[in-house]
Amino acid sequence: MPVAKDARLFYKQLFVLVGPIALQNLISAAVNSADVLMLNYVGQTALAASSLAGQVSFVLMLFYVGLASGLVMLTAQYWGRGDSYSIETLAGIALKISGAVGLVFAGASFFCPELLMRIFTNEPKLIQTGAEYLKIVSLSFLLMSVSQVYEAVFKSIEKVRIVTAITFITLTLNIILNAVFIFGLFGAPKLGIRGVALATTISRVVEILICIGVSFAVREVKLRPSVLFRKNTVLMRDFVHYSFPAMGNEVVWGLAFSIYSAILGRLGEDIVASNSVVAVVRELASVLCFGMAYGGAILLGKEMGGSNLEHARADASRLWRSVTVAGFLASLVILALRPLVLSMVTLTPTATHYLSLMLIISAVNIFGAAINTGFICGLFRAGGDAKFGLIMDSIAMWGVSIPLGLLAAFVLKLPPVWVYLILSLDEFEKIPFVIWHYRKDTWVKNITRDFDSEEKALE
């Protein structure tokens, strides 16, 4: 059956956006894979400590992802209107908020890293090793507060290839520096886990310098320091109204995952090491489906901002079906990689047994995650509806999965893999409600303002 012209155009536009986003996610996952493989040679303690210390940056990164998602939610719609003034002003608002949060995380990681590590584990070796990592990597948390906002704006105006190029350069540098500092290559000191932190920090310095340089070359939007001092009460109010639920959703989701890690972190080093490997495999397998969700959100947001709501509805249907297929393929990828992963890592026999079972559980879980991400982060956020995702994750993760996980781990004292399985059920708890919300059709909205009739306040 021939595909309609509009459908062909949508899939072509989606491919143009998703390809670079998926490649960017793949590169990021490759860096994490390289870290795991290299630290595997250093020792299981370094691998487990890196995984737990990484939860701090994971929570911060999810805040940045939420802020960026909220920013893209608005800027993609203003891009559909051709309104560069609003895009620049919103970027300035986002930079002020992300900078404040980045400063808090950087300060906490530098001045009290042991306290942060005790959130995730009570094993002295892991606390000490992870604290060394956090102290060195703390500067990178502040640098990310700028680069993540810049890259979000570039994506929203469909400069996705630029973001992919920045990611490729900085993360390739990260991999090279990891090898140099972990193993002491080319006369460098042999730093182990501290080398991973140092490599990350240097790479973030390079990333922010490239972002600032690119911002002067992009003609459509001028991201100059002056946007920090721009004032617009209407856009500030809209940013808070639409973006804060997206930030809240990511933070609620991320903190819940950190609690999952904290629960597992108290069940022994074996389950922690296995979980760190599973996380990397999962990230590698999911690059396409999550890239589709976030790339599709940009396309749908642009259409809604241009008041093409019927076209947006049709493309939304195509998007969620595409993401579902991609999620099924991600499940198959994890199952296909399972024998290779088990042969590549050097863990204790118990940890290897855990890893084998956890990969199967993750293969099933990722299918549900792809469906939910396609709807919540793709379709709903494109129309400014981030509150639904915040409510769903709060109930499913904090109201159901975390209490059940705590009960299973510390009251019923079930085996660690059973605890992991229980913590992985949250995605399937959400699916029926997500589909119900999609069919209500209340999420299809144009949320832009006409500033010809609004008061502008520029310095």
Give 253-288 pLDDT, tens digit per residue.
Answer: 878 887 888 898 888 888 888 888 888 888 878 878
Q: Is residue 151 a contact partner of residue 6, using CB atoms and an 8 Å limit?
A: no
Q: Is the pLDDT of residue 59 over 80?
A: no
Determine the average pLDDT of the residues in 387-412.
93
For 161-186, b/e burial (b = at least 16 CB within 10 A) is bbbbbbbeebbebbbebbbbbbbeee
Q: Which helix (H) or strand (E) holds 276?
A: helix 269-285
Q: pLDDT tens-digit profile of 152-161?
A: 899 888 888 8
Q: pLDDT tens-digit profile of 350-373?
A: 989 999 999 999 999 999 999 998
Per-residue confidence at 250, pLDDT binned at 50, 70, 90? confident
Closest CA to 118 of 52, 57, 193: 52
Q: Count CB neighbours of 452 within 10 A.
A: 6
Contacts of 410 (CB under 8 A, 6+ apart): 266
Better pLDDT: 50 or 134: 134
Q: What's the pLDDT score for residue 394?
A: 93
For tokens 């939910």, the residue is 372
Q: Is residue 68 a contact partner of residue 152, using CB atoms and an 8 Å limit?
A: yes
Per-residue confidence at 390, pLDDT binned at 50, 70, 90? very high
By CB atoms closer than 10 A (0-12, 13-18, 19+), residue 187 is exposed
Q: pLDDT tens-digit profile of 174-230?
A: 889 988 988 888 888 888 778 888 888 998 899 999 999 998 888 888 888 888 888
Mean pLDDT of the chain: 85
What's the predicted TM-score (pTM) here? 0.75
> Which tokens belong to 194?
């501290």
**Percent of the chain, pLDDT > 70?**
92
Q: Is residue 116 a contact partner of residue 104, using CB atoms and an 8 Å limit?
A: no
Q: Count CB neighbours of 13 within 10 A.
A: 18
Secondary structure class of 442 (helix, strand, coil): coil
Cα first-last separation, the chain: 57
Q: Which helix (H) or strand (E) holds 317?
A: helix 309-344
Q: What's the pLDDT score for residue 279?
A: 84
* Full DSSP string of 67-101: HHHHHHHHHHHHHHHT-HHHHHHHHHHHHHHHHHH
Q: Is residue 205 a contact partner of residue 147, using CB atoms and an 8 Å limit?
A: no
User: What is the rounded CA–CA span in Å between residue 434 and residue 436?
Assistant: 5
Determine the average pLDDT of the residues in 231-251.
86
* Full DSSP string of 379-424: IIHHTT--HHHHHHHIIIIIIIIHHHHHIIIIIS---HHHHHHHHT
